[in-house]
Chains A and B, each alone.
Chain A
């Protein structure tokens, strides 16, 4: 599964990082660093939670 970020919507709230820190990290300036393009094996649940938790609906998954 591929992780899509709508960069216009992302404002660096960081919910994704707190739920799936191996994949998402917010930088000092609030920009999102995506550590993986694809959902890592065994982390499907965390990443799904992170996608659902985004306050600006900036994240989506593409199978």
Chain B
């Protein structure tokens, strides 16, 4: 193994090159990125990066780190356009780059709303340039913001826009938002967070047409014919894995690049991040087939696994994980671990009727497979361990009972301390 090529210069690609260099790999390493930017931190782009008046630099590393510390050749600004797995070459612009081992980490791109190409006032949030554009637009005197799609990205942007005191409406095609990600009851619970903060959520509505004047969005026409005026239109209708460049490569592409448990898609070719579809052995009893995640933690881990497997295929290791994602809405933190599969969701702490705080557990095959918490930050990671050990449902309920007892004891202690303070204040008065 002399040349590792990593295509995709976001988190998974970064972690790929860092992992092998950290292990002492002394071959040549090339990192190819479609964007001009150095690898940067994506989760904040739909959250604090939009909300804060001062923009923190989202880049993970400086140029010098790649050149000096990591000894990585950066090929930025042009997307890879072709892969030849028999000749073992990747085409980038007019360059053909040979590889011995390859990591595909080209991620996903935001799905566009048909009929909005080139319209001013229409935004997606995926790249740093997208975020810079939207950040400016939210501060440009625009008053009305319409968000298409009540998923996590759309919800985060809606929350930021409300915090900037804009008028926000979310339009969702499904009757309940986030059904696929967290299930129906929990989708409803999270919708309450929006309503609590004055964001209007309209579900079961179709956007028939985007109306514009002189190339600038003016309104959207809904399925029932009503027109909704808007200054900005934010499109958050999901992301598609970036696999177009792999056409004709012989790799199996099916909503992502299909790989085996070791993330191998072909000899010498491994996948990582949003583009990867692989069988997650931890959930082989509850999932129908291989899964694809668009989460920070799995992208980081898969980047490391894929690169290590690519430079040492003889000792390639299988990757399995308990998925984890978080989302910040208003001042609330939403955290989810596991998969939202199964036959039952149980709220084990708090109350979901008004959007939390609460913790809910997901059951499938009589074991705990998922946990969702809203503003209960101490909870989900304790369940993540149970899920990773394939613990039964009873064990999860036992932990939940223990956590409730601990919370009650803590509350009683706090109350006693407060009473003590009040008594002391009374004595002094």
Residues of A within 8 A of B (CB): 12-15, 17-18, 21, 25-30, 52-53, 55, 57
- On whether A53 and B377 interact (CB within 8 A), knowing A15-B324, A30-B333, the answer reads no
B381, A28: Cβ atoms closer than 8 Å? no
B156 at the A interface (CB under 8 A): no
B296 to chain A: which residues have CB within 8 Å? 55
Question: Do residues B381 and A14 form an inter-chain contact, with CB atoms below 8 A?
Answer: yes
Residue of B nearest to A55 (CB): B296
Name the residue of chain B whose CB is nearest to the CB of A33. Answer: B378
A57 and B326 alpha carbons, distance in the complex (Å)? 16
**Which of B300, B301, B381 contacts A26 (CB under 8 A)?**
B381
CB pair A53–B384 under 8 Å, yes or no, is no
Q: Is B380 in contact with chain A by the CB < 8 A criterion?
A: yes
> Quick one: closest A residue to B19, CB to CB?
A52
Q: List 17 additional A-B contacts (Cβ < 8 Å) besides A18-B337, A53-B300.
A: A13-B326, A14-B335, A14-B380, A15-B297, A15-B381, A18-B322, A18-B324, A21-B382, A25-B378, A26-B378, A26-B381, A28-B377, A28-B410, A30-B377, A52-B300, A52-B304, A55-B297
Cβ contacts under 8 Å, A55 to chain B: 43, 296-297, 300
Question: Which B residues are in CB contact (< 8 Å) with A57?
Answer: 60
Interface of chain B, main secondary structure: helix
Measured in the bound complex, the distance between the Cα atoms of B14 and A57 in whole Å is 13
Minimum-distance CB pairs A-B, first 6? A14-B381, A30-B377, A18-B381, A18-B384, A17-B381, A28-B378
Return the CB mask of B65-108 against A: 1 if under 8 Å, else 0.
Answer: 00000000000000000000000000000000000000000000
* Chain B min CB distance to A14 (Å): 4
Q: Is B385's beta carbon under 8 Å from chain A?
A: yes
B43 contact set on A, CB distance < 8 A: 55
Q: Which residues of A contact B384 (CB under 8 A)?
A: 18
Does B381 lie within 8 Å of A29, measured CB to CB?
no
Query: Number of B interface residues, CB 8 Å?
Result: 24
A26–B377 CB distance below 8 A: yes
Q: Which of A13, A27, A52, A53 contacts B378 (CB 8 A)?
A: A27
22 contacts between A and B (CB under 8 A): A12-B377, A14-B335, A14-B380, A14-B381, A17-B382, A18-B337, A18-B381, A26-B377, A26-B381, A27-B377, A28-B376, A28-B377, A28-B410, A29-B377, A30-B333, A30-B377, A52-B304, A53-B297, A53-B300, A55-B43, A55-B296, A57-B60
Q: How far is the CB of B12 from chain A (nearest CB, A)?
A: 13
CB of B363 to closest CB in A, whole Å = 20
Neighbouring A residues of B381 by C-beta, 8 Å? 14-15, 17-18, 21, 26
Nearest CB of chain B from residue A10's CB, rounded to whole Å? 12
Please, which residues of chain A bring their CB within 8 A of the CB of B378? 25-28
CB distance from B422 to the nearest CB of A (A): 23
Note all chain A residues with C-beta closer than 8 A to B300: 52-53, 55
How far, in angstroms, from A18 to B297 measured CA to CA in the complex? 12
Task: Tell me the bound Cα distance from A52 to B300 in angstroms.
Answer: 9
Given A18-B381, A18-B384, A53 and B301 contact (CB-CB distance below 8 Å)? yes
> For residues 320 through 376 of chain B, which have their beta carbon under 8 Å from a beta carbon of chain A?
322, 324, 326, 333, 335, 337, 376
User: What is the CB-to-nearest-CB distance from B142 to chain A, in angstroms, rounded to a whole number?
Assistant: 29
Find residues 269-310 in chain B having any chain A CB closer than 8 Å to their own CB: 296-297, 300-301, 304
CA distance A39 to B146 in the complex (A): 49
Is the CB–CB distance between B385 and A18 below 8 Å? yes
